[in-house]
Structure 1
Amino acid sequence: MDFIIPYKVTVLVLGLSGFLFWVQLALADVVSIKAKHTPGFSIEQNHSSFLFRSHRALINSNESAAILILFALFAIFSAANPTWLNGCSLMYLAGRIGHMLCYYLDLKLLRSIAFATSFVSLLGMFVTGLWGWL
């Protein structure tokens, strides 16, 4: 598995992203329990509610998790430039952390910027992988 060594940062980002999503899940569950929210029932869509924001942060992370994994695998198996892939992966992680914190703190503009950062970095991972084919 020597081929993976140049991509160790990307592999680390995959693991750290998994941990970040786990933290979001744990926090959303704790907040739900404290709010005495009945499982299986909808949460009121209200940005002033931390219960809503904690669940939306988790849902948004879940929406991009599969894309992160697919693009990372695609780029690694395409022998993409490791510097670019690792950089885009780190940018994704920074964007996801920023998005989570801004969602929790209800900082709407910064949350959108953090989301855009992670969104663009995913595209960068794809392009980096595609470049490996050219």
Structure 2
Amino acid sequence: MYVGTPDRVLLLSPAIAIWILLDAEHWMRFGANNVMHFVDVNRDEAEWLGPDCRVVAMTPLLDALFVAAMPEATSTQTVNHNTALHTLLRQELSAAKDVPLALVLPKDARLLGVARGALDDPGSVRSVEAWSSDVPASRKTIE
């Protein structure tokens, strides 16, 4: 599974959580066997996670907090319980260790098309030589 933003692709696995900025342009690709939990953060509370998209390590506690914060779980809890849950979730997300699983997309328009094509259809990935015959760029630029 991966999430893309205009300038990078963030790679995900069950051991990973991701913070995507509120209103950030993004897209997702995932297979049929992926399970995703997400927590919406309102605009007033979003600042505590910082201004950049982040890929962070998913700990057992963080995973349990995500599951516990799902609407079906919180709808039967008291306000005090949900407040404590969300406070702990914020703390754990803020303290989570960043994982360097982001690929920066090329700024060169010629290469951006090749990179997006590879993301859309990973089976179509060919050799650098084949790409250089399709794209008016040198091997060094493509690499």
> Higher relative contact order at CA 8 Å, sep ≥6: structure 1 or structure 2?
1
Q: Which has the larger radius of gyration?
A: 2
Higher share of residues assigned strand: 2
Higher share of residues assigned helix: 1
Scaled by the length of structure 2, the TM-score of the pair is: 0.34
